[in-house]
Copies of this chain bind each other. A is one copy, B any other.
């Protein structure tokens, strides 16, 4: 397809006209950067994604990875070719310190640039972004030796990384993992256990694979307080900068998924004796940081990973949106409602109001979600580089509150966008001749991994809006309130949206208080998914109002489109939160009272 996977025009608007990303170059960390260097990275990534990643997206889906009899993984060759180009360009190191060979890009620019790869080829890009997340975590919490041994080759694109959390019996409930790590006399550990759903868990794309593994050191506390984090390489270093013997990490099987098929998703055995490093069974691992703090380290990365999942969902939604706009402009079918002459020529699909509804809904979802994702990414930059500690702390707090929404809202609504993209294509959209059915299948993963939709709801309502005495929700309300004030001052449609948003926000705050008023967690949390969805719609309404303000006074199709999409969101979408808040306010017990035997 020649349709772009993302809109550079929209990215320019969001980054420069709204978020003032150029302003970050006054910070010491980004002082070598300028709008020109940001543009260069965005251009490079758009070009590389289009030329190296997009062309094999369908082929990768149709030819999913297979396990050879010798236990290695067969992938179509284009995957490695694309990732090699990505690695050689130094993009894995985009956000990292210059001292590690990185570009010190702001997170917000890196996310925008990398979204091109996610939109062009979700599966192939995942190998790279898992590696970035892995390296980031080791840099944050690992020793210099781990950084030198494992992070540097990852940043050079020679090693890839994974995150090994889930086990066959323990997914959402990490308290129940059973992988064990036995301390050794030399300070290392030997790991034994089975990990499930490990993306990129095995392949021949890189010289080595660096697994970050959650495991329990015997004798430690029960539950999540006894979880530690380990680096477990597929191949052990030889001590001279090269690779030595195989570690005892074995690919047991590949999962066969509905979508996202190009990313190997694996069942891995650690320490089953298939390999015998040092002459005996057991996967050699190295502790990251301190014992029993593994989950907190992993959550440091998980927040990034969750925003990353949001971007994956956004990118797939965006690619489908653009393809369906293009299709609706070129495919003709039927006539206007008031044209009764069957001999008049058929009109393009886009002339039908219901098709425009489906396109506007997609636009409102994907552009709203992208804006939220970039806003959160800029909060990461604020957190990391704000000159004032209080500003940094505020960014952290706001990011904490927004993360479950930045993960779940795109996963829900950009999937819906993909469904609408299929619908715009009609019967053709249901076939594999077009791309949108794959986007829909690929995107269905996103409400599941890195914390399910339900887990995000519990995180938001059970933790984020109540932590620090409700400071997070108060900060969100204050931040939205500031936008409301600006919008009221701006007048016009913005002022009307401000009133609607302000009213919805007050309801959300009131509902939150009501849910926790009597301290019954079971009742408060019974409908936490509904709370998550209502809060998500209110946050996206706020983000759309921000875009309206950023577009104020500007003329032309692009800005008219922004205003119309905002109007759509306020007319068609924000009101959906009303009945959800009504339900929450009623402290409804329907699901609590339902008995298993009644199903």
Contacts and interface: CB of A to CB of B under 8 A. Distances in A.
Interface in A569-594: 571-572, 575-576, 578-579, 582-583, 586, 588, 590-594
Interface stretch (A13-21, A187-195, A252-260, A470-478): A252-260
A599 B334 contact: no
A258 B437 contact: yes
Interface string A512-542: 0000000001100111111000000000000
A267 B135 CA distance: 51
Given A357-B527, A437-B258, A457-B354, A522 B430 contact: no
Given A223-B342, A338-B521, A427 B449 contact: yes
Nearest to A432: B256
Given A353-B525, A441-B258, A427 B598 contact: no
Interface residues of A, number: 103
B454 A355 contact: yes
A557 interface: yes
B257 A338 contact: no
Contacts of A360: 590-591, 594
A549 interface: no
Copies of this subunit: 2
Contact of A172 (B173, B359, B426, B582): B426
A522 B338 CA distance: 7
Nearest to A558: B598
Given A346-B173, A360-B594, A529-B354, A429 B448 contact: yes
Contacts of A358: 454
B258 A337 contact: no
Interface of A: 166, 169-173, 175-176, 196-197, 222-225, 255-259, 325, 329, 332-338, 342-343, 346, 348, 350-360, 363, 419, 422-423, 426-427, 429-433, 437, 440-441, 444-445, 447-449, 452-454, 457-458, 462, 521-522, 525-530, 557-558, 560-561, 564, 567-568, 571-572, 575-576, 578-579, 582-583, 586, 588, 590-599
14 contacts: A170-B333, A173-B333, A173-B335, A255-B427, A258-B430, A337-B521, A352-B454, A354-B458, A354-B526, A354-B528, A354-B529, A359-B599, A423-B448, A571-B583
Given A325-B599, A572-B590, 17 more contacts: A171-B426, A173-B346, A197-B427, A222-B343, A225-B342, A257-B432, A258-B432, A259-B430, A354-B457, A354-B529, A422-B448, A423-B452, A557-B598, A560-B595, A572-B588, A575-B579, A575-B582
